[in-house]
């Protein structure tokens, strides 16, 4: 027996280099346990060297947790081939290590002959030891080549496995490369138990091996076999995977971020998360109820274009003791036993993804990175600047960094109830954040139906996406003053009714009936659901219906200026019943409750309160677009212009068909102003695709923006072209709306003539253009005025037929406009034509009347 050289340690060292007392690796040069600092080793660290925790807690009857160890991840080199741009959130680059070694006489993984490696200088890729394909690399332990001091090299285990060389050690113990002599000398990895684990009852490994074999998931490395070898102990046989673990991937991306597409690396990190969550969901399934327990970057292997959870020794039943790692262990996991739940696995994954991205020094930094105050201005803020120094690659653009920080913050919250409830729930949000990051980076649509919200049929266009209302002409022409800006946001009452609606919970007793309901009259739907048994979803539906009924009451506001607080008592009662059905304890963590409280706050025009509530929803479901739409609107109302633009743009790029986001972007640009504000606003509206239900409103808005800012013949010509396409290609078929649109455009042309911004020649040239001719644009001022007079008469008829209380008065004003703009003549009277016209009509009538034939006179005298 070789005594352990560590000062004060009474243990002995195994042939493979472990202390039998501490279970830790013994550095043969320094003579210290691997948890101790090795003198002189830190001097070899370069700026790209990575650090990772490697201590694992081993459950013992009275054994303390092992101390934390920091070790160097060497700078491995690899070939990286990026995949084509794709909306697939599981797509990964292909990574092929260049330093993979193979057994003597066999080709390496990528065709290179296997050659023994000798220890070299840390950081020198050609001097590194072979990759540890099955667990974290222990670069402070010995790395002997075959036949150069490794006592197990060349031995035959269980008459089948020829030991080649030591690869490293993981949670279970040492990992060796071996050849399976009974299966064509295929490469396998043989894992041994640590000395402290060898004390488990005989036969436990066989039971665990069967449990591992039953897992059978592509994201978890399979177990080929198990066995026992005298003098060495129990072992498992697994596939040999020559890849990089996520810590090594992080180190490689940190040194050469451009090889991972720069900021695109964060999308790949989310892809790692989605893949790992698939494996965790398999483990957490009710029929298995297992946990991984020791999730960390070193236990996730990137193999080609796939990932594998490699340290199967940490897998155990939920609540059972097992391995954990300091730094990745959830605060709710006892350090003495490592007993974990499925939500503790999600915490470890969140912390793993955070460390691979390099977001902050710890999970506590995520709150600052996800704060909305960072969106106040377009310039760099101090929090982002500090975070950029630690991030693996450049930060995501726009809202992406906030959403990324929030989804990881949700996974790593202190209490289990505040984290994601299931792997599926976390996966949905990672997918949503992935779509957002990709769209912000590329400008390409990355659409996938929301798992939590129904898409809203409303454009939330406000006054921007509709033909001008009749009230626009309410004032007499001589009293025309500055009108309300087109970019004024819609009323809070409208938004409260028209934001996206949450999908019914599939587990609700009324899910089938709720899914079949249409967006009909709210009063009728209230009557229809009156006899339904109470459930959380039924009460939430009735809360929204009562809100709509209250806001459509006769005394409810038509505009912001006339706001009168509606009676929402019935809606609040339904929300209280929903909370009771959910349960007061669970309701504190249910985003649906905050969402409906936010709608009620909007209905009362309490925008600041609504913003706080929607912010909580955004923190709970960072991958969803609906809370970002709501927050964008609140930012508009509160004058937070850059914040509004950031939220709306993130949603618009991800799903251009969603009109609410496109109109939000247009309003935000117009509110911010600037030389290119109109151009950016119109570009956002033009990006609404032809198949979108909001395309007509978007094209209408583009015309109205153009006509409100036309200053010369060129800009007026662009408006006429857009107006022609709106009438004949983009679906504006309502004749009354067409008249109002033409009246607005013709008025702009008259104003340009009056200001000498265009002349008669330019007006004539505009009228002969094909698009202008299609809509009958006049070629001279006289015809322009005659057309306007005719339009005003038509608008007067619309006003007279409307149900508005001031309809008759508005009709009179429009008649005044019609007669005022009409070209001068000899007589100008609204009830009869001028005298010359009456005379000519009388002459024509007389000419058509045949002369009367007088009867002959009788001559009877």
Phi, psi for residue 288 in degrees, rounded to 5: -115, -50
In this predicted structure, the answer to whether residue 615 has a pLDDT above a threshold of 90 is yes
Stretch among 25-34, 179-188, 267-276, 681-690 having the lowest mean pLDDT: 25-34
How high is the pLDDT of residue 714? Answer: 95
Dmax over CA atoms of the chain, in Å, equals: 172
Residues of the chain above pLDDT 70, percent? 78
Residue 10 · residue 23 · CB < 8 Å: no
How high is the pLDDT of residue 108? Answer: 38
Residue 704 · residue 464 · CB < 8 Å: yes
How high is the pLDDT of residue 194? Answer: 61
How high is the pLDDT of residue 479? Answer: 57
Q: Do the domains 245-416 and 98-242 match in fold?
A: no
User: DSSP letter string over 801-857?
Assistant: HS--TTHHHHHHHHHHHHHHHSPP-S---SSS--HHHHHHHHHHHHHHSPPPPPPPP
CA dist., res. 662 & res. 248, Å (int): 41
The alpha carbon of 618 is separated from its chain's Cα centroid by a whole number of angstroms, namely 10
How high is the pLDDT of residue 141? Answer: 35
Stretch among 15-19, 81-85, 711-715 having the lowest mean pLDDT: 15-19
Higher pLDDT, residue 37 or 446: 446
How high is the pLDDT of residue 845? Answer: 63
Summary mean pLDDT of the chain: 83
How high is the pLDDT of residue 163? Answer: 93
How high is the pLDDT of residue 245? Answer: 94
pLDDT band at 132 (very low <50, low <70, confident <90, very high): very low
In this predicted structure, the answer to whether residue 609 has a pLDDT above a threshold of 90 is yes
HSE toward the beta carbon, residue 200, CA cutoff 13 A: 18
How high is the pLDDT of residue 747? Answer: 95
- In order of 456, 489, 490, the CA distances from 617 in angstroms are 18, 22, 22
Residues in the annotated binding site for ATP: 191
In this predicted structure, the answer to whether residue 825 has a pLDDT above a threshold of 50 is yes
Residues in the annotated binding site: 191
pLDDT band at 364 (very low <50, low <70, confident <90, very high): very high
CATH topology of domain 245-416: Transferase(Phosphotransferase); domain 1 (1.10.510)
The runs of H, that is alpha helices, within 201-242 are 204-215
Average pLDDT over residues 722-741: 95
Residue-wise pLDDT for 452-496, tens only, equals 999 888 999 988 999 999 988 887 665 555 556 788 999 999 999
Determine the CATH number of domain 98-242: 3.30.200.20
How high is the pLDDT of residue 21? Answer: 57
Residue-wise pLDDT for 301-357, tens only, equals 999 999 999 888 789 999 999 989 999 999 999 999 999 999 999 999 999 999 999
Higher pLDDT, residue 826 or 631: 631
How high is the pLDDT of residue 47? Answer: 30
pLDDT band at 846 (very low <50, low <70, confident <90, very high): low
How high is the pLDDT of residue 774? Answer: 94
In this predicted structure, the answer to whether residue 447 has a pLDDT above a threshold of 70 is yes
Length of the chain: 861
Residue-wise pLDDT for 46-61, tens only, equals 333 333 333 344 343 3
Higher pLDDT, residue 841 or 413: 413
HSE toward the beta carbon, residue 489, CA cutoff 13 A: 31
Residue ranges per domain, the chain? 98-242, 245-416, 494-619, 710-847
Residue 474 · residue 682 · CB < 8 Å: no
User: DSSP letter string over 260-311?
Assistant: GTGGGHHHHHHHHHHHHHHHHHHHHSTTT-EE-----GGGEEEEBTEEEE--
Residue 492 · residue 636 · CB < 8 Å: no
pLDDT band at 731 (very low <50, low <70, confident <90, very high): very high
How high is the pLDDT of residue 824? Answer: 78
**Neighbouring residues of 445: CB distance < 8 A, sequence distance ≥ 6:** 439, 653, 654, 655, 656
Compute the 3-state secondary structure of the chain and give helix, strand, coil in percent, each to the nearest 5.
45, 10, 45
In this predicted structure, the answer to whether residue 732 has a pLDDT above a threshold of 90 is yes
Residue-wise pLDDT for 771-824, tens only, equals 999 999 999 999 999 999 999 999 999 999 887 788 888 999 999 999 999 987
How high is the pLDDT of residue 196? Answer: 47
How high is the pLDDT of residue 475? Answer: 73
CA dist., res. 170 & res. 152, Å (int): 18
State pTM to two decimals.
0.82
């Amino acid at each position: 027996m070789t005594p352990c050289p560590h000062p004060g340690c009474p243990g002995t060292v195994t042939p493979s280099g472990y202390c039998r007392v501490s279970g830790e690796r013994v550095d043969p040069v320094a003579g210290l346990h691997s948890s101790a600092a090795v003198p002189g080793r830190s001097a070899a660290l370069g700026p790209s060297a990575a650090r990772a925790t490697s201590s694992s807690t081993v459950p013992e009857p009275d054994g303390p947790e092992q101390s934390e160890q920091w070790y160097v991840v060497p700078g491995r080199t690899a070939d990286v081939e990026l995949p084509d741009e794709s909306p697939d959130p599981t797509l990964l680059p292909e990574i092929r290590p260049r330093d993979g070694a193979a057994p003597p006489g066999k080709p390496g993984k990528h065709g290179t002959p296997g050659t023994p490696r000798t220890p070299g200088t840390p950081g020198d890729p050609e001097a590194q030891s072979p990759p540890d394909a099955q667990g974290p690399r222990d670069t402070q332990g010995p790395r002997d080549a075959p036949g150069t001091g490794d006592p197990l090299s060349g031995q035959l285990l269980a008459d089948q496995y020829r030991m080649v060389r030591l690869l490293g050690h993981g949670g279970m113990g040492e990992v060796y490369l071996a050849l399976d002599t009974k299966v064509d000398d295929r490469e396998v990895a043989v894992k041994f138990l640590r000395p402290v684990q060898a004390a488990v009852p005989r036969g436990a490994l066989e039971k665990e091996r069967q449990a591992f074999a039953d897992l059978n998931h592509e994201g978890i490395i399979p177990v080929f076999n198990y066995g026992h070898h005298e003098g060495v102990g129990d072992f498992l046989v697994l596939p040999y995977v020559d890849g990089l673990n996520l810590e090594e991937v992080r180190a490689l991306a940190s040194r050469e971020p451009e090889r991972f597409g720069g900021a695109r690396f964060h999308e790949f990190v989310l892809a790692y998360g989605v893949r790992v969550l698939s494996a965790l969901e398999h483990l957490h399934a009710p029929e298995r109820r297992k946990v991984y327990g020791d999730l960390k970057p070193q236990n996730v292997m990137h193999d080609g274009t796939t990932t594998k959870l490699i340290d199967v020794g940490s897998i155990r039943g939920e609540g059972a003791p097992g391995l954990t790692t300091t730094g990745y262990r959830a605060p709710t996991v006892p350090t003495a036993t490592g007993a974990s739940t499925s939500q503790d696995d999600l915490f470890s994954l969140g912390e793993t993804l955070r460390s691979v991205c390099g977001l902050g020094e710890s999970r506590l930094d995520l709150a600052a990175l996800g704060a909305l105050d960072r969106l106040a201005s377009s310039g760099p803020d101090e929090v982002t600047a500090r975070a950029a120094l630690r991030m693996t690659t450049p930060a995501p653009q726009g809202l992406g960094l906030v959403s990324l920080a929030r989804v990881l913050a949700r996974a790593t919250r202190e209490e289990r109830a505040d984290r994601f409830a299931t792997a599926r729930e976390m996966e949905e949000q990672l997918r949503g954040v992935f779509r957002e990051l990709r769209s912000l980076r590329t400008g390409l649509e990355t659409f996938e139906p929301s798992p939590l919200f129904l898409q809203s049929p409303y454009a939330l266009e406000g006054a921007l996406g509709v033909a001008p209302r009749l009230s626009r002409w309410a004032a007499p022409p001589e009293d025309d003053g500055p009108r309300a800006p087109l970019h004024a946001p819609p009323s809070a009452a409208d938004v409260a009714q028209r934001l996206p609606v949450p999908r019914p919970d599939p587990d609700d007793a009324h899910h089938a009936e709720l899914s079949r309901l249409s967006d009909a009259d709210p009063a009728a739907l209230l009557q229809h659901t009156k006899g339904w048994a109470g459930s959380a979803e039924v009460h939430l539906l009735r809360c929204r219906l009562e809100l709509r009924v209250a806001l459509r009451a006769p005394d409810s506001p038509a505009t912001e200026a006339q706001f009168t607080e509606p009676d929402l008592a019935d809606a609040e009662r339904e929300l209280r019943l929903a909370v009771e059905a959910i349960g007061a304890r669970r309701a504190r963590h249910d985003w649906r409750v905050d969402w409906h409280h936010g709608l009620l706050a909007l209905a009362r025009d309490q925008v600041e309160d609504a913003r706080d509530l929607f912010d909580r929803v955004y923190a709970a479901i960072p991958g969803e677009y609906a809370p970002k739409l709501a927050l964008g609107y609140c930012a508009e109302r509160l004058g937070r212009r850059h914040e509004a633009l950031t939220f709306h743009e993130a949603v618009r790029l991800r799903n251009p068909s969603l009109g609410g986001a496109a109109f939000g972007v247009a309003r935000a640009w117009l509110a911010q102003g600037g030389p290119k504000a109109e151009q950016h606003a119109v570009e956002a509206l033009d990006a609404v695709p032809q198949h979108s239900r909001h395309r007509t409103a978007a094209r209408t808005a583009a015309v109205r923006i153009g006509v409100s800012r036309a200053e010369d013949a060129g800009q007026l010509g662009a408006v006429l072209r857009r107006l022609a396409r709106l009438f004949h290609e983009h679906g504006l078929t309502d004749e009354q709306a067409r008249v109002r649109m033409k009246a607005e455009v013709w008025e702009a042309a008259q104003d340009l003539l009056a200001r000498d911004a265009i002349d008669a020649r330019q007006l004539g040239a505009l009228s002969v253009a094909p698009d202008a001719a299609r809509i009958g644009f006049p070629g001279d001022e006289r015809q322009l005025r005659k057309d306007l007079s005719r339009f005003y008469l038509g608008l007067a008829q619309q006003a007279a037929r409307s149900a508005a209380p001031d309809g008759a008065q508005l009709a009179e004003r429009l008649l005044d406009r019609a007669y005022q703009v009409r070209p001068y003549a000899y007589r100008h009277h609204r009830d009869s034509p001028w005298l010359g016209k009456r005379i000519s009509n009388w002459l024509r009538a007389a000419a058509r009347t045949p002369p009367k034939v007088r009867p002959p006179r009788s001559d009877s005298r």
